[in-house]
Structure 1
Amino acid sequence: MSSGDEEAIEGEHLLSEECKNMIMSLPRERGWRTRYLYFFQDFWCQSTEIQSITKFQNHFQAKDTDIIIATIPKSGTTWLKALAFAVANRCRFPPSKKNHPLLTSNSHALVPFFDYTVYGGRFDHLPDFSNMVEPRLFGTHIPYHALAKSIQDSKCKILYICRNTLDTVLSSWIFLNKVKPEDLPTLTLEEAFEMYCDGKIGYGPSWNHMLGYWNESKARPEKILFLKYEDLKKDINFHVKKLGEFLGCPFTIEEENKGLIESIIKLCSFENMKELEVNKSGTFGSNFENKYLFRKAEIGDWVNYFSPSMVEKLSKILQEKLNGSGLSFELLYS
Structure 2
Amino acid sequence: MAPTNVTCFREENESEKGEEITIEEDKLSQECKELILSLPRERGWRTRYIYLFQGFWCQPLEIQAIITFQKHFQAKDSDVIVATIPKSGTTWLKALTFAIVNRHTHSITTSMSSHPLLTSNPHELVPFIEYTVYGNAPSHVPNLSNMTEPRLFGTHIPFHALAKSIKESNSRIIYICRNPLDTFVSTWIFLNKIKPEHLPEFELGEAFEKYCKGIIGFGPTWDQMLGYWKESIARPSKVLFLKYEDLKKDVNFHVKRIAEFLGWPFTSEEEGDGTIESIIKLCSFEKMKELEANKSGTFARNFERKYLFRKAEMGDWVNYLSPEMGEKLSQIMEEKLSGSGLSF
- Specify the alignment match of 2:144 in structure 1: 129
**CA spacing shift, 1:126–1:322, aligned 2, 3 Å:** same
Q: Which runs of 4+ in 1 moved over 3 A?
A: 1-5
CA contact (8 A) 2:172 2:239 kept: yes
Of 313, 317, 326 in structure 1, the residue corresponding to residue 332 of structure 2 is: 317
Task: Compute the displacement of 1:8 (Å).
Answer: 2.7
May I ask how many residue pairs the two structures share in their alignment?
329
Amino acid at match of 1:133: T
Matched residues in 2 for 1:37 and 1:24: separation?
12
Kindly indicate whether residue 254 of structure 2 is the aligned counterpart of residue 244 of structure 1: no
Kindly indicate whether residue 67 of structure 2 is the aligned counterpart of residue 54 of structure 1: yes
Task: Compute the displacement of 1:58 (Å).
Answer: 0.2
Task: Compute the displacement of 1:5 (Å).
Answer: 5.0
**CA spacing shift, 1:3–1:209, aligned 2, 3 Å:** closer
Task: Compute the displacement of 1:16 (Å).
Answer: 1.1
Gaps of 5+ in 1: 330-334
Amino acid at match of 2:99: A
Kindly indicate whether residue 72 of structure 2 is the aligned counterpart of residue 44 of structure 1: no
CA contact (8 A) 2:65 2:139 kept: no
Gaps of 5+ in 2: 10-20
- Specify the alignment match of 2:241 in structure 1: 226
- Specify the alignment match of 2:296 in structure 1: 281
- Specify the alignment match of 2:342 in structure 1: 327
- Specify the alignment match of 1:332 in structure 2: none
Matched residues in 2 for 1:152 and 1:276: separation?
36
Amino acid at match of 2:35: M
Matched residues in 2 for 1:5 and 1:235: separation?
45
Secondary structure of the residue that 1:218 maps to in structure 2? helix
TM superposition score normalised by structure 2:
0.94
Matched residues in 1 for 2:116 and 2:142: separation?
22
Task: Compute the displacement of 1:188 (Å).
Answer: 1.1
- Specify the alignment match of 1:34 in structure 2: 47
Matched residues in 2 for 1:55 and 1:107: separation?
24
Of 89, 93, 96 in structure 2, the residue corresponding to residue 83 of structure 1 is: 96
- Specify the alignment match of 1:8 in structure 2: 8
Kindly indicate whether residue 64 of structure 2 is the aligned counterpart of residue 64 of structure 1: no
- Specify the alignment match of 1:178 in structure 2: 193
Kindly indicate whether residue 224 of structure 2 is the aligned counterpart of residue 209 of structure 1: yes
Matched residues in 1 for 2:197 and 2:284: separation?
32
Render the CA deviation track for 1:239-261: whole Å, top value 9, x for unaligned. Answer: 00111100000000000100000
What percent identity do the matched residue pairs reach? 69
Amino acid at match of 2:188: W
- Specify the alignment match of 2:120 in structure 1: 105
Task: Compute the displacement of 1:12 (Å).
Answer: 1.6
Task: Compute the displacement of 1:287 (Å).
Answer: 2.1
Secondary structure of the residue that 1:283 maps to in structure 2? coil
Matched residues in 2 for 1:275 and 1:216: separation?
37
Task: Compute the displacement of 1:124 (Å).
Answer: 3.6
